[in-house]
């Protein structure tokens, strides 16, 4: 069985890598009908200067930012689901994104630099997650956890709406579009920050795979196995909140990737946290790249927010999960 799982992991890794490469090429070059760059011209070196700038200054940063965002959301989603032993515990559903968005919007309105915006988003996401857990009183009951997350999201969403109503017209459109999720603001300084932070955060979450496997048996069982459950679980929560907050502060609200990517991997190779935390970032990056490509291509020359695409696919996926496991989620 172990050999079969290893073969399945290798096959799935190859599939995700192939999908990533093809989707990234589609995002970089597109088709001539949507203002694309001919791959043949690029390989032969006959690309005009303006298209060269388009590729290196606009499209490549956007592709890299989308991949980093998807990888971070997927890693955080997989870790949170294992930590709370709850397959519906997605960052956007349990309040993290709402709290991070409010704090990031406040920081943006104050004109703070990007590192302080990310730090503010981290604090807001951590506060929202703490409130969700406090209100649910249980991390193993899916219904209570999700309902608590909905309540926390409603509170932070109302505060965010109140903030938006006080914005001047010049800032209103920018922040509103940002909140719906977009990779259009990708610039090299921001992309470099994400390229540095994403591998570090994904690696730190991956290092917790033994604890996360033990938590699948319950906190008491993990404690009897020799884990410092309180400290380790808090470390997982902080790292997950930091990953989601970095995405929110960089790209706005991109929901449901943290729910879909871990489940896609889990359906193929099972729920072992070591394999899940290795492959979920690849799946998340693939989903984010695909959503961004659809957002740019669906109604060209206009552009849809990425959060709209992920919500249109993620919400039915969530309902399908809820229906398929309805007996397990009864309160």
CA–CA distance, 8 with 3 (Å, rounded to integer): 9
Helical residues (DSSP H) of 181-256, grouped into ranges? 188-206, 209-215, 219-224, 229-251
pLDDT band of residue 201 (cuts 50, 70, 90) is very high
pLDDT bracket for residue 205 (50, 70, 90): very high
Report whether pLDDT(132) > 70: yes
On whether the 65-324 domain is CATH 1.10.10.10, my answer is no
The pair of three-digit structure tokens given for residue 286, joined into one six-digit string: 């693939």
What percentage of the chain reaches a pLDDT higher than 70?
85
Q: How confident is the model at residue 309 (pLDDT cuts 50, 70, 90)?
A: very high
Backbone angles phi, psi at 221, to 5 degrees: -65, -40
For residues 25 and 262, give the distance between their C-alpha atoms in angstroms, rounded to a whole number.
Answer: 24
Domain ranges in the chain are 65-324
* Helix H or strand E encompassing 323: helix 306-324
Please report the pLDDT score of residue 16 as a whole number: 81
Alpha-carbon torsion 180, 181, 183, 185, what sign?
A: positive
Polymer length in residues for the chain: 331
Average pLDDT, whole number, for the chain?
Answer: 82
Preceding peptide of 301 cis, ω within 30°: yes
What one-character-per-residue DSSP string does 34-75 give? GT---HHHHHHT---HHHHHIIIIIIHHHHHHHHHHHHHHHH
H helices present in 84-208, as ranges: 96-109, 114-136, 142-165, 169-179, 188-206
């Amino acid at each position: 069985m172990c050999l079969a799982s290893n073969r399945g992991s290798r096959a799935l890794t190859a599939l995700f890598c192939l999908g990533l490469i093809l989707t990234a090429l589609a995002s970089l070059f597109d088709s001539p009908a949507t203002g694309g760059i001919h791959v043949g011209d690029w390989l032969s070196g006959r690309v005009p200067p303006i298209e060269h700038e388009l590729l290196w200054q606009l499209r490549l940063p956007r592709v890299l930012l989308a991949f980093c965002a998807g990888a971070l959301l997927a890693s955080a989603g997989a870790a949170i689901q294992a930590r709370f032993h709850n397959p519906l515990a997605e960052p956007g559903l349990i309040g993290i994104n709402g709290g991070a968005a409010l704090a990031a919007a406040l920081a943006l309105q104050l004109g703070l630099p990007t590192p302080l915006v990310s730090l503010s988003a981290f604090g807001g996401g951590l506060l929202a997650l703490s409130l969700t857990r406090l209100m649910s009183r249980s991390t193993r009951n899916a219904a209570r956890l999700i309902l608590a997350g909905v309540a926390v999201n409603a509170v932070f969403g109302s505060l965010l709406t109140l903030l938006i109503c006080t914005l001047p017209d010049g800032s209103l459109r920018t922040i509103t579009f940002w909140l719906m999720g977009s990779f259009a603001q990708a610039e090299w300084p921001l992309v470099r920050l994400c390229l540095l932070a994403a591998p570090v955060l994904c690696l730190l979450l991956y290092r917790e795979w033994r604890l996360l496997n033990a938590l699948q048996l319950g906190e008491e069982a993990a404690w009897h196995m020799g884990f410092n459950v309180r400290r380790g679980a808090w470390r997982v929560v902080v790292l997950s909140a930091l990953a989601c907050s970095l995405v929110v502060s960089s790209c706005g609200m991109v929901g449901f990737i943290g729910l879909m990517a871990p489940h896609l991997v889990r359906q193929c190779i099972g729920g072992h946290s070591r394999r899940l935390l290795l492959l979920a970032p690849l799946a998340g990056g693939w989903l984010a790249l695909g959503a961004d490509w659809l957002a740019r291509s669906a109604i060209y020359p206009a552009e849809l927010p990425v959060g709209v695409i992920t919500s249109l696919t993620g919400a039915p996926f969530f309902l399908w999960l809820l229906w398929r496991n309805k007996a397990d989620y009864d309160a």
